[in-house]
Amino acid sequence: MADTLTITDNRTGRQYELAIADGAIRSTDLRQIKADADDQGLVTYDPAFMNTAACRSRITYIDGDKGILEYRGYPIEQLAEHSTYLETSYLIIFGELPSPAQLEGWTTQITLHTMLHENIKKLMEGFQYDAHPMGVFLSTVGAFSTFYPDAKQIFDEQSRKKQVHRLIAKVPTIAAYAYRHSIGRPYVYPDNELSFTGNFLNMLFRMTELKYKVNPVLERALDVLFILHADHEQNCSTSAMRGIGSSHVDPYSAMAGAAAALYGPLHGGANEAVLRMLNEIGSVEHIPAFIKRVKAGEGRLMGFGHRVYKSYDPRATIIKRTADQVFEVTGRNPLLDIALELERIALQDEYFVTRRLYPNVDFYSGLIYQAMGFPVTMFPVLFAIPRTAGWIAQWEEMLLDPEQKIARPKQLYVGAPRRDYVALGTRG
């Protein structure tokens, strides 16, 4: 017998049988439940989509209670240990780990698309000297749609593939230019002989040397961080990507919106906020007073808590390990002591324990980025680079899903009832 849910409407005494598939009922099945003939039918009310699945997805699986994260079925721990960001991005976008030939072809394509049009460079030069790199990043991604009008052919597979190559390859270049712009240094062109992250570090930090020497520990650490940030199912920015993309706009315009969503301090801006918070706390002795303020509702412990994870974020565990490797090269970040003590206290404090608030991906990533020499304003950009893989994969999945249409949530109207216009002179 098929799984069903029986609902009795006390208003009418009628009973309804709703089909359950994949642990869900269809909200549109509720429409038939009406109090009377004028009723438009029952809807579900779910602000912030706390309990609404808006798509079927084959990309990322999360079990928030158990602290499980998998891309296309592969555990994040195994990918962080054995894979590279480029291989993982291929997996996320195309669904399978690449064969050696496929990986070589993918790497070549990405390497060949890293350059930016010179006019993009000019466009970026127009920003204020102190422009936040994330503002520059998302504006430039949006501007791409004017440089690549062929991207409008969203139902042409070859065209989509081209935009995928461009996006994955060019986001580090935009990010690096945004950074160099903010510190008034000349832009460094991509070096095709370097790895994905090696080239990125080169574009960021190269000065007058003929060949930039990438530190292999930092190169690998950044690659691991990129793997960890590559996708995270239907989060705020991914939902933005899908929602905007559902209007059939080109992927650059949709991704500008996704990047804007990521910019916020409750999402990708959290790692920047963590660093500011640690600096503000200043020393271990100030932690109890800070925790007291958080518990009194005066601000949040940034880098803690997650809508989905109600246990330790598995990415945070890997990041903590990576931090140790990075600090061996760069020296210990003095803010680490404050972070470790904050975590220790919070994990045994009743307020955090009962609300199941644990460190998330952003709690330690900022400390690594800072030790590597990145200014805090670059942190959300460092999140956006790898998340591009997830955004594109989710966008394409949405486009090719016959069940998807333009996104259009319902509302419960609670405003004024119909009333007649009052002439300006006669208003009180």
Binding residue (CB under 6 A) for ligand CMC from 110, 174, 301, 323? 301
310 scored as a contact of ligand CMC (CB under 6 A): no
The number of helices, as runs of H, and strands, as runs of E, in the chain is 17, 5
**Least distance to ligand CMC, CB of residue 286, Å:** 17
- Residue 308: how many CB atoms within 10 A of its CB? 15
Task: Give the Cα separation of 128 and 111 in Å (integer).
Answer: 30
**Least distance to ligand CMC, CB of residue 308, Å:** 8
Which positions from 347 through 366 interact with ligand CMC, judged by CB under 6 A? Answer: 355, 357, 360-362
342 scored as a contact of ligand CMC (CB under 6 A): no
Active site residue 117: no
Beta bridge partners of 62: 69
**Could you tell me which residues come within 8 angstroms of residue 387 by beta carbon, excluding any fewer than 6 positions away?**
229, 230, 231, 232, 237, 258, 262, 268
Q: Would you state the structure tokens that stand for residue 320, as one six-digit string?
A: 């903590």
Of 191, 267, 349, 401, which is the active-site residue?
Answer: 267
144 scored as a contact of ligand CMC (CB under 6 A): no
> Nearer Cβ to ligand CMC, position 58 or 292?
292
- Closest chain position to ligand CMC (CB): 305
> Nearer Cβ to ligand CMC, position 319 or 336?
319
Q: What is the DSSP letter of 359?
A: B
**Least distance to ligand CMC, CB of residue 50, Å:** 8
Active site residue 181: no
**Least distance to ligand CMC, CB of residue 415, Å:** 25
What backbone phi and psi angles, to 5 degrees, belong to 109? -60, -45
Task: Give the Cα separation of 380 and 386 in Å (integer).
Answer: 11
Binding residue (CB under 6 A) for ligand CMC from 235, 238, 322, 377? 235
Task: Give the Cα separation of 174 and 180 in Å (integer).
Answer: 10
User: 416: buried, middle or exposed (CB in 10 Å: 19+, 13-18, 0-12)?
Assistant: exposed
396 scored as a contact of ligand CMC (CB under 6 A): no
139 scored as a contact of ligand CMC (CB under 6 A): no
**Least distance to ligand CMC, CB of residue 30, Å:** 25
Burial 131-142 (b: 16+ CB within 10 A, else e): bbbbbbbbbbbb
Task: Give the Cα separation of 103 and 87 in Å (integer).
Answer: 7
- The interface region with ligand CMC, picked from 25-33, 127-135, 143-151, 298-306 by CB under 6 A, is 298-306
Binding residue (CB under 6 A) for ligand CMC from 67, 133, 257, 303? 303
231 scored as a contact of ligand CMC (CB under 6 A): no
Task: Give the Cα separation of 325 and 264 in Å (integer).
Answer: 29
83 scored as a contact of ligand CMC (CB under 6 A): no
23 conformational bin, left if phi > 0, alpha if psi -120 to 50, beta if neither: left
Q: What is the largest CA-CA distance in the chain?
A: 81
270 scored as a contact of ligand CMC (CB under 6 A): yes
* Closest C-alpha among 52, 16, 35 to residue 5: 16
Q: Would you state the structure tokens that stand for residue 69, as one six-digit string?
A: 């994260």
- The interface region with ligand CMC, picked from 123-131, 132-140, 301-309, 334-342 by CB under 6 A, is 301-309
Active site residue 223: no
- The interface region with ligand CMC, picked from 73-81, 115-123, 156-164, 260-268 by CB under 6 A, is 260-268
DSSP track, 378-396: GHHHHHHHHHHHHHHHHHH
**Could you tell me which residues come within 8 angstroms of residue 380 by beta carbon, excluding any fewer than 6 positions away?**
134, 262, 263, 268, 269, 271, 272
> Nearer Cβ to ligand CMC, position 286 or 355?
355
67 scored as a contact of ligand CMC (CB under 6 A): no
- Residue 414: how many CB atoms within 10 A of its CB? 5
Binding residue (CB under 6 A) for ligand CMC from 34, 307, 310, 332? 307
Of 132, 232, 306, 313, which is the active-site residue?
Answer: 306
20 scored as a contact of ligand CMC (CB under 6 A): no
Distances (CA, A) of 286 to 29, 82, 277, 279, 302: 54, 40, 12, 11, 16
268 scored as a contact of ligand CMC (CB under 6 A): yes
174 scored as a contact of ligand CMC (CB under 6 A): no
266 scored as a contact of ligand CMC (CB under 6 A): yes
Residue type present at position 415: G
302 scored as a contact of ligand CMC (CB under 6 A): yes
Task: Catalog residues that contact ligand CMC under the rule CB under 6 A.
Answer: 235, 266-268, 270, 294, 300-307, 355, 357, 360-362
**What residues are annotated to the active site?**
267, 306, 362
